[in-house]
């Protein structure tokens, strides 16, 4: 299939609730236990998405939630018992990079089709998902003579559950990404839309409540894709839009109370960012003073971050926070390490060592040792840390390990509580607003868990790279704030490159460091575009950096979108 999507602008969506992962040794993106409680809170209106490996399956999830309907993801090869236990009102089969012709191509479980038919559950296959339906029901999928990628025009040829009568005979622009095609449909299916090249674009078997789209309605490039999903969810499935943000808070608090015993204590890793702050506030609301927050200064923080964050915790959030100075502990372990994956895993391991030590100190004070660790892990972290195909847990490709997902040691003693694990950043901000977290905190730009270690390329302990980066980053961020641009940008930061360039400063030749400025716009961090600064703004920022930061004589701007790049450089 070889899917590719350019950056998409996705409107703010309602979030999905998933309780914490009960097994910290297996941080799966689509845990069965996590989805069970979520289904119970869906009021019988759950849309289940089976994931067949597209890096953008989450866009389907977000689109459905945007309709005020709860949607959850499971791995495409999840057991039928896991699917049936959720009692979905509808199932969507996602796209993916595979071909149904390949050996061991991912598929839904045995008896899935019998299950949905017996229970009257509508199924919508998207791209690979549609081809899977065609093949499994006796149709034919072949390698297409005319491959279709990118924006294409389709014609709606008949009224169906996916298209209203008013669209029959009209064109609409959609986003195609497929090399295979449905050459012969199974018995009972009709073509309801074709591409301008004459290929099958949409099919249906209304008597069996089975539908398929060869294109991707979830991306914004499919101009009427949202309306098509709306038709399917409300007209075909008869689902009610009755799921609210407040449900997330109430159900999450209930799960935390059920999980943590009445006398048990919990540690929360606070970074000073939006995610950990909202997670801490939520858990504090559930268990009160049995939550013990710890802020770790690992030597990889931004300019004066420790002083600023601790003051805010005390004055605005009123959370009990202990600051641990672990600068030497982290930097000594990172000395000489250049590989980004190795850096992330070292940082993850050292964080857990700090938390274990903190738990031991609390045990001496309280007479019992805390059993749980709260982290602000988000859905993008989990998606990008998915294991590769063939692992039996996901068909998605690993992009990078996150220190609080793939970087955690297998022998950690604390059990994880990750109340935001399948939420996106904008959804976390919505939840934080309900919890009365100060707006100044909610609007903070994201900061990576490994801190500046992934913004200093190479060995972070070499020379004065961290000090230089902190100064450059501070000038950049303060300039953005002074220009009134901070809230228009999803994330902005500086990167230190392990190269030097020749320059002229003070009428003398210099051989100094190169830094890069990066600013992006995004809705969820999964796709992003670079921010277009005014030329005068950039001229002023570069002048300030080169005049104020000793050791820098060249400033570059990163103008790469995601994809093909990631947000961070490592």
Q: What are phi and psi of 380, to 5 degrees?
A: -60, -35
pLDDT of 54 higher than 50:
yes
**In terms of DSSP bridges, do strands 171-184 and 140-156 run parallel, antiparallel, or are they unpaired?**
antiparallel
pLDDT band of 150, cuts 50, 70, 90: low
Q: What are phi and psi of 486, to 5 degrees?
A: -55, -45
Q: In what order do the strands lie in the sheet with 140-156?
A: 71-75, 47-51, 90-93, 123-126, 210-213, 200-205, 190-195, 140-156, 171-184
Residue range 271-319, pLDDT digits in tens = 888 888 999 999 999 999 999 999 999 999 999 999 988 888 888 777 8
How far is the C-alpha of 37 from the C-alpha of 17, rounded, in Å?
Answer: 8
pLDDT band of 72, cuts 50, 70, 90: confident
User: Can you read off the two tokens belonging to residue 453?
Assistant: 């270690």
Q: Which residue has the higher pLDDT, 433 or 508?
A: 433
pTM, entire model = 0.70
Active site residues: 127, 216, 218
Residue 513: strand pairing partners = 500, 552
pLDDT band of 144, cuts 50, 70, 90: low
> What's the average model confidence in pLDDT over 408-428?
76
Q: Label residues 101-119 b or e (16+ Cβ within 10 Å = b).
A: eeeebbbbbeebbebbeee
The reported pLDDT for the residue numbered 294 is 92
How far is the C-alpha of 477 from the C-alpha of 292, rounded, in Å?
Answer: 31
How far is the C-alpha of 495 from the C-alpha of 453, rounded, in Å?
Answer: 10
Report whether 570 contacts 558 (CB < 8 A).
no
How far is the C-alpha of 487 from the C-alpha of 10, rounded, in Å?
Answer: 17
The reported pLDDT for the residue numbered 12 is 30
CA 90 distance to own-chain centroid = 23
Residue range 2-52, pLDDT digits in tens = 443 333 333 333 333 333 333 333 333 344 444 444 554 455 789 999 988
> What's the average model confidence in pLDDT over 468-496?
97
> What's the average model confidence in pLDDT over 73-77?
85
Residue range 87-101, pLDDT digits in tens = 999 999 998 888 888
Query: Which region among 174-183, 259-268, 446-455, 511-520 has the lowest average model confidence (pLDDT)?
Result: 174-183
The reported pLDDT for the residue numbered 327 is 97
pLDDT band of 71, cuts 50, 70, 90: confident
Q: Vertex 72, ends 68 and 76: CA angle to 5°?
A: 145
Q: What is the percent of the chain where pLDDT is above 90? A: 45
User: Can you read off the two tokens belonging to residue 272?
Assistant: 């000073």
The reported pLDDT for the residue numbered 412 is 64
Q: Is residue 532 classed as helix, strand or coil in its secondary structure?
A: coil
């Amino acid at each position: 299939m070889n899917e590719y999507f350019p950056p998409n602008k996705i409107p703010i969506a309602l979030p999905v609730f998933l309780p914490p992962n009960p097994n910290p040794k297996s941080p799966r993106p689509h845990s069965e236990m996590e989805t069970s409680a979520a289904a119970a809170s869906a009021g019988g209106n759950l849309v289940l998405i089976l994931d067949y490996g597209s890096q953008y399956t989450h866009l389907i999830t977000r689109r459905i939630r945007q309709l005020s309907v709860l949607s959850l993801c499971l791995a495409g090869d999840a057991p039928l018992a896991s699917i049936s236990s959720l009692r979905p009102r509808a199932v969507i089969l996602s796209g993916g990079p595979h071909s149904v012709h390949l050996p061991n191509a991912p598929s839904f479980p045995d008896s899935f089709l019998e299950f949905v038919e017996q229970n009257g559950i509508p199924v919508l296959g998207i791209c690979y998902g549609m081809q899977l339906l065609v093949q499994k029901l006796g149709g034919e999928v072949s390698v297409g003579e005319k491959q279709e990628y990118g924006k294409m025009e389709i014609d709606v040829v008949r009224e169906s559950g996916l298209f209203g009568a008013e669209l029959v005979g009209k064109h609409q622009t959609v986003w195609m990404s497929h090399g295979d095609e449905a050459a012969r449909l199974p018995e009972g299916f009709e073509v309801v839309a074709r591409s301008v090249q004459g290929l099958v674009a949409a099919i249906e078997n209304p008597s069996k409540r089975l539908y398929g789209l060869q294109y991707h309605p979830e991306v914004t490039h499919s101009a009427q894709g949202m309306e098509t999903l709306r038709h399917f969810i409300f007209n075909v499935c008869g689902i009610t839009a009755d799921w609210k943000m407040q449900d997330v808070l109430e159900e999450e608090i209930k799960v935390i109370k059920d999980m943590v015993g009445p006398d048990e204590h919990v540690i929360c890793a606070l970074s000073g960012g939006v995610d950990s702050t909202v997670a801490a506030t939520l858990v504090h609301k559930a268990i009160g003073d049995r939550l013990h927050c710890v802020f770790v200064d690992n030597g990889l923080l931004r300019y004066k971050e420790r002083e600023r964050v601790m003051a805010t915790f005390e004055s605005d959030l009123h959370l009990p926070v202990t600051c641990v100075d672990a600068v030497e502990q982290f930097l000594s372990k990172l000395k000489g390490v250049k590989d980004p994956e190795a850096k992330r895993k070292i940082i993850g391991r050292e964080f857990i060592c700090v938390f274990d030590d903190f738990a031991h100190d609390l045990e001496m004070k309280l007479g019992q040792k805390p059993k749980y660790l709260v982290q602000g892990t988000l859905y993008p972290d989990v998606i990008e840390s998915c294991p590769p195909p063939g692992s039996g847990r996901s068909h998605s490709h690993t992009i990078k390990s996150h220190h609080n997902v793939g970087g955690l040691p297998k022998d950690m003693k604390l059990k994880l509580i990750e109340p935001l694990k399948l939420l996106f950043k904008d959804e976390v901000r919505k939840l934080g607003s309900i919890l009365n977290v100060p707006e100044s905190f909610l609007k903070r730009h994201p900061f990576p868990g490994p801190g500046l270690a992934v913004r200093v390329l190479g060995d972070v302990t070499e020379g004065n790279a961290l000090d230089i980066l902190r100064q450059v980053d501070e000038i950049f961020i303060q300039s953005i704030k002074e220009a009134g641009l901070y809230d228009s940008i999803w994330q902005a930061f500086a990167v230190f490159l392990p190269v030097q360039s020749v320059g002229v400063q003070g009428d003398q030749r210099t051989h100094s460091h190169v830094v890069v400025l990066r600013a992006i716009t995004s809705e969820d961090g999964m796709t992003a575009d670079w921010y277009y600064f005014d030329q005068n703004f950039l001229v002023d920022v570069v002048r300030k950096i080169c005049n104020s930061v000793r050791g820098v004589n060249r400033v570059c701007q990163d103008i790469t979108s995601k994809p093909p790049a990631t947000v961070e450089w490592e």
